[in-house]
């Protein structure tokens, strides 16, 4: 039976043992100081480099490849829309797993393994291109200009809206509520693209902003017109985040932290003993968590302005990529078991979107394999390891960006607030996993 938390399900694994918390925190501190004191003093990833893959580029760029990928993704969304609009209002409707598990959690492995796959197959872009083809207009040109300084701030607001739906809205597993959100997402994005051009989708689609950020750590990167197999760290540090990228990573990290915090005994007892309705508490908690990440990161990065030649307000955007590995580590630690168990359940239900006993894809008779839950120690190791590894990669990325942005003599002093902030994020993540 599905538990109606975190969209359709919450973490199923046990709280992290305290010994793992202490070990993880000690490793994070040790590695941080080693990187800061002993690592390189000049940029090492000034060029992405990598191995050119011209044959793979020709395959990926072939019209038939792109059309097939776009049609398959669009068909999957159309199938989910059928379940959303005409399916039964029960948790056995696969649209809930499609949205909250396959899309939301699945964006991470897809983007890491396939790079900018979501941008190339985004169904919103496909629909917009079809509409523009019918109207015989250029999809890149809209009726109104879109200010570049807007960046991805609309997508950051969209991420807050989606995480509010996923974590706060008490009726999130009802079709009526999900229909409203899905229609708003579709209409606002497509109409906005008609007004401002296809660039609006990149600026305002929360899923594309999420996937694009995670894909910076993919080993696949397009340099010029050619795909290359690159060092993921080089790709991430070479990324120049758009305005609003800080809001995107803050929404992702803050919402994941709130999901764990909302399951602690202190939070549950506090909310239950209060006269204020739960939705108000949860909305405030989610907003505060995101603001804490946004403010602490912005202040830590702005400190670098004391030593660099750029205005302080520019450094949070330039350093935003260093939070991406921490976001990925948090997500893996929190939602790996959710993806494994509920991802299977969604695949089983996918054959019968209307609840009429169909078995379109031959999956209806399959069962969920929950063998992963028989290994709680392994799950705990993966959880702690994901957070610590995300921290280590984030620290390395932040160090590389700092030595590239600051004079050599001041690079270490400029990094101290960032180091303290990242250690704080890691320890907080481990403690939230420990909290019963």
The structure tokens listed for 36 are 């800061």
| The residue count for the chain | 436
Report the predicted TM-score, pTM, of the whole model to 2 decimal places: 0.90
pLDDT of residue 25: 73
In contact, 210 and 122? CB cutoff 8 Å: no
pLDDT of residue 67: 95
CA distance 36 to 25: 17
pLDDT of residue 123: 96
| Nearest of 122, 113, 115, 110 to residue 72 by alpha carbon | 122
CB-side neighbour CA atoms (13 Å) of 435: 19
> For the chain, how far is it from start to end, CA to CA, in angstroms?
22
User: Consecutive 10-residue runs of the chain (436 residues): their mean pLDDT?
Assistant: 42 61 73 71 76 92 94 97 96 95 95 94 96 90 88 97 94 95 96 94 96 94 88 89 96 92 88 92 96 95 91 93 92 89 94 93 88 83 86 88 86 84 83 70
Rounded to 10 deg, the angle between the 324-349 and 206-215 helix axes is: 120
Place of tokens 């004391």: 306
Give backbone dihedrals phi and psi of 58, rounded to 5 degrees, phi first. -65, -40
Whole-angstrom Cα Rg for the chain = 22
In contact, 139 and 197? CB cutoff 8 Å: yes
What 3-state DSSP class applies to 222? Answer: strand
pLDDT of residue 206: 97
CB-side neighbour CA atoms (13 Å) of 394: 32
CA angle 76, 80, 82 (to 5 degrees): 115
CA distance 115 to 210: 12
pLDDT of residue 14: 55
């Amino acid at each position: 039976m599905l538990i109606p938390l975190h969209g359709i399900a919450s973490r199923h694994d046990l709280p992290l043992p305290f010994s793992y918390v202490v070990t993880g925190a000690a490793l994070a501190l040790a590695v941080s100081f080693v990187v800061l004191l002993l690592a390189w003093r000049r940029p090492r990833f000034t060029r992405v480099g990598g191995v050119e893959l011209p044959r793979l580029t020709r395959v990926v760029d072939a019209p038939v490849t792109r059309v097939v990928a776009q049609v398959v993704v669009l068909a999957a969304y159309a199938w989910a829309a059928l379940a959303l609009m005409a399916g039964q209002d029960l948790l056995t409707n696969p649209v809930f797993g499609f949205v909250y598990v396959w899309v939301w959690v699945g964006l991470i492995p897809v983007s890491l393994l396939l790079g900018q796959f979501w941008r190339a197959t985004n169904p919103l872009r496909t629909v917009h291109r079809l509409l523009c083809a019918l109207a015989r207009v250029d999809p890149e040109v809209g009726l109104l200009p879109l200010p570049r300084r807007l960046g991805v701030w609309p997508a950051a607001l969209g991420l807050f809206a989606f995480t509010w739906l996923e974590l706060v809205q008490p009726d999130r597993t009802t079709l009526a509520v999900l229909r409203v959100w899905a229609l708003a997402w579709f209409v606002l994005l497509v109409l906005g693209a008609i007004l401002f051009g296809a660039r609006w989708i990149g600026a305002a689609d929360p899923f594309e902003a999420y996937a694009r950020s995670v894909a910076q750590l993919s080993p696949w990167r397009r340099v010029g017109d050619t795909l290359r197999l690159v060092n993921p760290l080089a790709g991430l540090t070479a990324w120049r985040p758009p305005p609003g990228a800080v809001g995107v990573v803050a929404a992702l990290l803050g919402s994941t932290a709130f999901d764990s915090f909302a399951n602690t005994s202190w939070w549950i007892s506090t909310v239950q003993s209060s006269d204020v309705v739960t939705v108000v508490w949860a909305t405030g908690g989610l907003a505060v968590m995101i603001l804490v990440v946004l403010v602490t990161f912005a202040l830590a990065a702005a400190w670098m302005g004391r030593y660099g030649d750029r205005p302080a307000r520019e450094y949070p955007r330039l350093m935003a990529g260093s939070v991406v590995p921490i976001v990925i580590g948090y997500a893996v630690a929190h939602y790996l078991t959710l993806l494994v168990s509920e991802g299977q359940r969604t695949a089983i239900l996918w054959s019968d979107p209307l609840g009429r006993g169909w078995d379109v894809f031959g999956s209806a008779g399959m069962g969920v394999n929950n063998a992963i839950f028989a290994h709680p120690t392994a799950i705990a190791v993966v959880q702690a390891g994901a957070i610590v590894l995300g921290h280590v990669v984030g620290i390395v990325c932040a160090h590389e960006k700092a030595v590239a942005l600051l004079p050599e003599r001041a690079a270490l002093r400029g990094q101290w607030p960032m180091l303290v902030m990242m250690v704080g994020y890691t320890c907080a993540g481990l403690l939230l996993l420990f909290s019963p």
